[in-house]
Amino acid sequence: MAPAPSPSLVPRLRTARAVVFDTDGVITDSARVHAAAWKEAFDPCLAEAGQRRPFDPVEDYRRYVDGKSRLDGAADFLTSRGLRPADETVEAVAAAKERLFVRRLREHGIEAWPGTVRLLRMLRAQGVPCAAVSASRHAPELLDRSGVRELFQAVVDGNEAARLRLPGKPDPALFLEAARRLGVPAGEAAVVEDALAGVEAGRRGGFGLVVGVDRTAGPTSAADLHEHGADLVVGDLAELMTGQSIGQSFGQDIGED
């Protein structure tokens, strides 16, 4: 039996001089924890406003909240339901979500996606610098708890965004700051994102490659990522490495074209 081929990067990623990764849902399996906390924060607010339909932790999360700051996410979702929330309401929902997320994080912990870890280790072995980006102030803790902090040369999180007064996604400021810290122009770097706001930020920032990660595999989720700016879409980052056994449900998206 012939030996299995050694893994290597797919052609479209091979030319990237640096890679910038979103944290929640791309590096760590924390998007579901954020979504659950948002649901617990939003549902009482919706009920009080007379809305019968609760927050959907899959579709509502990915369309209106994922990748955004807490205040932006809270305001955008409530507005999507036809509400005109006062600033105090938005702040209260965002604060409740923060408390609930921290509680869930402390109680259950967090892990990194195995396919992402394999890709990160390959990039490190090939001397490709990587950065982690997040609108959340919890990104450093998530990276530490999941055991992958050492794989990143730079981290730009919500704390850094506040300190530098960087606008949130879909503005590309967070990604551009990460690329700057890695010393690579955006046009020669790749962005890896699972949020619609994030892939749009990568496109707006002029990055050479924008990879969308479709964890939900919903009926329109891959198409939505493409529409917002993803050049290619994968279900797991191990699909960006050839010679892997993982099924490639978006195989047409990871070729050379």
Catalytic (active site) residue 24: yes
Reported as a single tens digit per residue, the pLDDT across 45-69 is: 999 999 999 999 999 998 999 888 8
Reported as a single tens digit per residue, the pLDDT across 139-176 is: 999 999 999 999 999 999 999 999 999 999 999 999 99
Q: Are residues 136 and 239 in the same domain?
A: yes
Q: Are residues 189 and 220 in the same domain?
A: yes
Is residue 252 pLDDT above 50, yes or no?
no
How much of the chain exceeds pLDDT 70, in percent? 91
Reported as a single tens digit per residue, the pLDDT across 7-34 is: 678 888 989 999 999 999 999 998 888 9
Reported as a single tens digit per residue, the pLDDT across 76-126 is: 999 999 999 999 999 999 999 999 999 988 888 889 999 999 999 999 999
CATH number for position 189:
3.40.50.1000
Catalytic (active site) residue 224: no
Last residue of a domain, one of 108, 131, 159: 108
Reported as a single tens digit per residue, the pLDDT across 65-77 is: 988 889 999 999 9
3-state SS class at 140:
helix
3-class SS letters over 65-131:
HCCCCHHHHHHHHHHHCCCCCCHHHHHHHHHHHHHHHHHHHHHHCCCECHHHHHHHHHHHHCCCCEE
Mean pLDDT computed over 203-223: 94
Model pTM score: 0.81
Sheet of 232-234: strands edge to edge? 154-156, 130-133, 18-22, 189-193, 209-213, 232-234
Domain with 191, as residue range(s), is 8-29+111-253
CATH number for position 65:
1.10.150
**Residue 1, in any domain of the structure:** no
Mean pLDDT value across the chain: 89
How many domains in the chain?
A: 2
Q: Are residues 163 and 87 in the same domain?
A: no
Is residue 247 pLDDT above 60, yes or no?
no
pLDDT of residue 244: 46
